[in-house]
Structure 1
Amino acid sequence: MIAEAPAAALADPAAFRSQVVAAGAPVVLRGVARHWPMLAGGREAVIAALLAADAGQSAEMFIGRPAIGARYFYDEALAGFNFTRETVPFRDALTRIVATAEAADRPSLYMGSLPAETYLPGIAAAVRLPFVPADVSPRVWIGHASSVACHYDAMDNVACVAAGRRRFTLYPPEAIGDLYVGPIDHTMAGQPVGLAVGSPPGNIRFPRFERWRDRAELVDLEPGDALYVPKLWWHQVEATDPVNVLVNYWWDGFADGPEAPYTTMLLAMLAIAERPAAERAAWRAWFDHYVFRPERHPLHFLPPAKHGILDGQPASRSRIRDLVMRLLRGG
């Protein structure tokens, strides 16, 4: 059962960082967005607010044939996808979504990850949350009922329901080997997806998924509710009403410079993944010692003044960064 955040954790970004983000577990945030003015009038007021804030930009819209059941996914051969994309003026797309929401046997329509500052600049100030850093910009997701494939984010995520309802199905990072994750460079929207999630029970293509099938965490959200999803947690997202609007915030709660862990992993794959097993095991020991530090700092037995570039100070981080860049250039 996923816990709900204590009120004290929602006071400001520092409290949220220390009491929620640091724990690395999903947290339900009931009612945290109910103060948004546009929520007071229900779905119609939310749509009206979006139309009023429209900056006149065009957006990419996913269009799914009725046969896919609004589950946006690969085609059978994993060569393409089971939906098409169309670039449409935002106002036209939103109007079309609302106008066709109740129509029988209609295509499913979906627009995702729209930066508010680009598409809806008047909305950003109206959807603030006190515990999200002030420099983090919201993104907006709009569509019919739909199912977005199980994926992870490389950033911390607060997802707030503005209209409709959402169901999140969550798996922890350690499930990655049993979700049968698809290609990392041929994706629907940037992140690889767990191909096994949503498959029928007993599917012979995904036998290891059975150990997780009944262990997923389910969270249902109403308008005004939100969910904190830590980076690297797998989540399938279902929008369940005829028209649904979600506002989310992405940021890295513990970034201390431009380096991204995912970038580091890709470089490690290049350098280590194809080496012999014995050498990979040796490098695993080094990563544990210097990077993951399961017990303590690798130089714990020396006074901090003798930690050199491992002292964690900004100047030392810059020295490490310079060394890495020089090595990558072959210097």
Structure 2
Amino acid sequence: MELPKATPVREVEADQGFDLEAVSASLEPVILRGAVSDWPVVKAAKTSDTAMHDYLSVFDRGAKVPVSVGSPANKGRVFYTEDFTGFNVERGTSSMTELLQRVKNHGGAEHPPLIYLASADVDECLPGFREQNDLDFGQYRPVISIWIGTRTRIAAHNDLPLNIACVAAGQRRFTLFPPDQIENLYVGPFETTPAGRPISLVDFANPDLDQYPRFTEAMAHARIADLEPGDAIFIPSMWWHHVEALGTFNILMNYWWRTVPAFLGTPQDVLNHAMMTLRDMPQDEKEIWRQLFDYYVFGESSAPRDHVPENIRGILSPVTEESARQVRAFLLNRLNR
């Protein structure tokens, strides 16, 4: 069966800059063409892998970095072993110097080994690099990570923060899905994952539609984005994205940020606790709790408190940093019983 073709992601010309607030308000991904085309690393990458290697070496202080390596037989796919008891890559550490040299030496092979530095702090890996290659996030303080490697295929996953991913070198293909496609992506376990987030078990290069028949429906809702050096993409919170690095020497920089205060914590903790406490209850009891969540969490936030005197509203009131601390202490006490 032929899969539906993904819809191209909307593009905006961004070589003269872009409005961060307008972009981050989008409910769908947006390609920011040329957003980082003025970065020196992009200009070096467009010259040659050697020029880019030499440019990066200026900032290389030999930092120890986490590296995954795999056989050419992986065809770049970072995934599980066949029995799902481990992963198809070996993980260890390397100096940044060795990593850059190995990617330069092997990335151009017809069937390169998988060599992959994933989501490392760019300031620790390449101190001073961001003085020449960076985006202005104004009031926000994003987490900024760098990804370096040969050709790779990273399974579809999602992230809580908003995300702008910038292609500094190589080419990247993003295949993206709205959050509501979770049922059609056949997501794997929570505890054992290649990179900390649950991933789709579907091999996008060779999908087994007998085992994963609903993937056809997922592809009917898919978006696709092909990026060159200097391009960037905005990915809204919780959108699923499968990422392929297609160049001989690939570098990506990620900016992750949230627009809500950090003291609110992460909804993932709530989901984990809900699976422990609610999922295996009788269905009629779960329906009651669904109604309670709709009323207290997902409905109009003021409705549960408008009729309650302000001085006794407690957790019904808008959360502050102080009240968040109090609730967290209460929860820890309950969980530790």
Give the alignment's TM-score, normalised by structure 2. 0.86
Asked whether the 8 Å contact 2:112–2:150 carries over to 1, the reply is no
Structure 1 range deviating more: 206-215 or 139-148: 206-215
Contact 1:304–1:311 (8 Å) recurs in 2: no
Q: 2:156 aligns with which of 145, 150, 157?
A: 150
Contact 2:166 2:254 in 1 (8 A): yes
Q: CA deviation at 1:59?
A: 1.6
Distance (Å, rounded) in 2 between the aligned partners of 1:175 and 1:118: 36
Q: Does 1:292 align with 2:298?
A: yes
Query: Does residue 312 of structure 1 match 2:315?
Result: no
Summarize the alignment of residues 116-195 of structure 1 with structure 2, pairs less than 5 Å apart.
116-131=122-137, 133=139, 135-195=141-201
Matching residue within 11, 16, 27 for 1:4: 11
| Deviation by residue 1:90-134 (Cα, 9 ceiling, x = unmatched) | 111111110122234442211111101211111122222124656
In structure 1, what is the Cα distance between the partners aligned to 2:38 and 2:120? 22
- Residue deviations 1:251-285 (CA, integer Å, cap 9, x gap): 22223525111112112222211211111111111
- Cα offset for 1:199? 6.3
1:228 and 2:250 equivalent? no
- Measured after TM superposition, the shift of residue 172 of structure 1 is 1.0
Residue 214 of structure 2 aligns to a residue in which SS?
helix
Deviation, structure 1 residue 300? 7.8
Percent identity reads 35
SS in 1 for 2:191: coil
> What is the alpha-carbon distance in structure 2 between the residues aligned to residue 74 and residue 259 of structure 1?
30
1:107 is the counterpart of 2:113: yes
User: Which amino acid is 2:98 matched to?
Assistant: D
Q: Work out whether residues 38 and 45 of structure 1, in 8 Å CA contact, stay in contact via their aligned partners in 2.
A: no
* Whole-angstrom distance in 1 between the partners of 2:294 and 2:53: 50
Q: Equivalent residue for 2:35? A: 32
Q: Return closer, same or farther for 1:164/1:325 CA change in 2, 3 Å cut-off.
A: same
Residue 5 of structure 2 aligns with which residue? none
Q: Is the 8 A contact 1:201 1:210 kept in 2?
A: no
Look up the match of 2:3.
Answer: none
Note the C-alpha offset of 1:50. 2.0
The letter of the residue matching 1:259 is G
1:40 aligns to what SS in structure 2?
A: helix
The 2-side partners of 1:266 and 1:140 are apart by: 28
Asked if 1:267 corresponds to 2:261, the answer is no
SS in 1 for 2:277: helix
**What is the alpha-carbon distance in structure 2 between the residues aligned to residue 320 and residue 70 of structure 1?**
43
Shift, 1:39, TM fit: 2.1
The 10-residue stretch of structure 1 (125-134 or 28-37) with the greater mean CA deviation from structure 2: 125-134
Question: Which residues in structure 2 correspond to 1:174-253 (within 5 Å)?
Answer: 174-198=180-204, 200=206, 203-253=209-259
| Cα 1:6/1:199, change in 2 over 3 Å | closer
Aligned partners of 2:141 and 2:257 also within 8 Å: no
Any idea what the Cα deviations from partners look like across 1:23-55, whole Å, max 9, x if unmatched? Answer: 432111111111212322324443323211123
TM-aligned CA deviation for residue 329 of structure 1: 0.7
Query: In the superposition, relative to structure 1, how do residues 46 and 265 fare at CA in structure 2: closer, same or farther (>3 Å)?
Result: same
Superposition deviation, residue 149 in structure 1: 1.1
2-side partners of 1:303 and 1:6: how far apart?
Answer: 50
The question of 1:322 aligning with 2:329 is answered no
Moved more, 47-56 or 67-76: 47-56
Q: Is the 8 A contact 1:136 1:251 kept in 2?
A: yes
CA contact (8 A) 1:136 1:249 kept: yes
- Describe the SS at the equivalent of 1:220: strand
Partner of 2:20: 16
**Letter in structure 2 aligned against 1:298:** A
**Does structure 2 retain, via aligned residues, the 8 Å contact 1:156–1:250?**
yes
Aligned residues: 323
Distance 1:276 1:127 in 2: 54
Shift of 1:207: 1.9
**Are the equivalent residues in 2 in contact too, given 1:179–1:197 (CA < 8 A)?**
no
Q: Judging changes above 3 Å, is the alpha-carbon distance between structure 1 residues 102 and 46 closer, same or farther for their aligned structure 2 residues? A: closer
Verify the 8 A CA contact 1:156 1:231 in the aligned structure 2. Answer: yes
Structure 2 residue identity aligned to 1:24: L
Q: Deviations over 1:178-217 (max 9, x none)?
A: 2111111111111111012516456222122221134311
Tell me the TM-score normalized by structure 1: 0.87
